[in-house]
Every structure is written in C-alpha cells, then in structure tokens.
Amino acid sequence: MELIKFADFAKNIQDGWENALKENGILYLTTRNQVRIVATDPTTICVTRCSPMKSGVEKGTPEQLYSSKQSVRFFQWCKTNNLEYGILSDKYGLFMFDERREAYDLHPSELTDEGLRRLGLKIRFTMAKRERRVLLFYNPSPVMATPYFKMLLFSGLDTYYTSKLFAIGQKGFLP
C-alpha cells in the first residue's frame, strides 16, 4: 500500500470521517445486526486501541496491562460475547488476548507513517498466523483514532469500524 494514499487522511478524518473511512475501504457499522454479523464471523478478530492507562504490571495479557475505561469495557464485551480480541498496540502491532508481553510507554504521535506501516505488517502477520482476515475496530471517537486507522489500512486486511459496543448475544451486554 502506498504512503501517498494516506497523505491527507488525518485532515479528511477531521473534515468528514465517514467519507474518509469509506474512501479508504473501511466500512462503518451503525447497527446491532451489522456488528453482530461481522463480530461473530469466524474470520474476524475484534480490536480496540491501546491506552496510556496501564495497570502497573511489568508483563501480562492485554486485560492485565490496559486499565482505561474503554479497554475494560471492550474486554467485558468480548468476553460476554465469546469473541477473540486484540489491542492495536503502538509497539507490538496486534497484541492478542492470549499473549503476554512487556508493558511499554509509547504514544502514537511518536510514530511516523513508516512506523505505522511496519505495525500494519505485524498485524497482517499475526492475523495470518491465526488464519483470520477481518478486523472489527472499536473506538468511541473516530477522530481520535487516526493513527490506528492508518495502521489498519497498512495491514491490507478487511476492516470494519464501530463506535458502539452493541449487545450481540443472547446474554446481552452489561456495560
């Protein structure tokens, strides 16, 4: 994927994020049924972004390391709905629910497009190892997720976006 495709991506996200996503092949899911269909597809991994709020442990799974309200809510949603998940990490690319990794402190603003491209390739590699090809990205604010959208675009994988965690199973979801 060419870097030039992303030259105006951040500006376009600010001006009209739905069109910017659509123009780059990321589909925005707005209904419970859309999210359910994609999330429960066996080729899908659900993801959210990493957060600066860490729990203080030196090494652990995503659930043990990330303690922001958004992360905790996402972990609960995935577990309630029996979904495999990962974190879009500024260091590791895709940090899966069943992996243990070292804690880190890296802000996405420190990443260049080349760094985001490398992370996108790491995401692609992790997904291929798990025989998955679809990502469902959750983040409440699309504008605040620009580096993660770039990372996902560089992965070259089919990507969907939702800003809401809908109840998708029979148990529903308790936020």
Which residues, other chains included, contact 104 with Cβ-Cβ below 8 Å and sequence gap of 6+? 90, 91
CA distances, 100 to each of 72, 84, 121 (Å): 17, 15, 20
CA distances, 3 to each of 39, 113, 167, 174 (Å): 29, 7, 37, 40
Average pLDDT, the chain: 89
Of the chain, the percentage scoring pLDDT greater than 70 comes to: 87
Q: Provide the whole-model pTM.
A: 0.90
**pLDDT, tens digit, for every residue of 96-138?**
999 999 999 888 889 999 999 999 999 999 999 999 999 999 9
**pLDDT, tens digit, for every residue of 77-102?**
999 999 999 999 999 999 999 999 99
CATH class in words for 3-162: alpha beta
pLDDT-derived band at 55 (thresholds 50, 70, 90) equals: confident
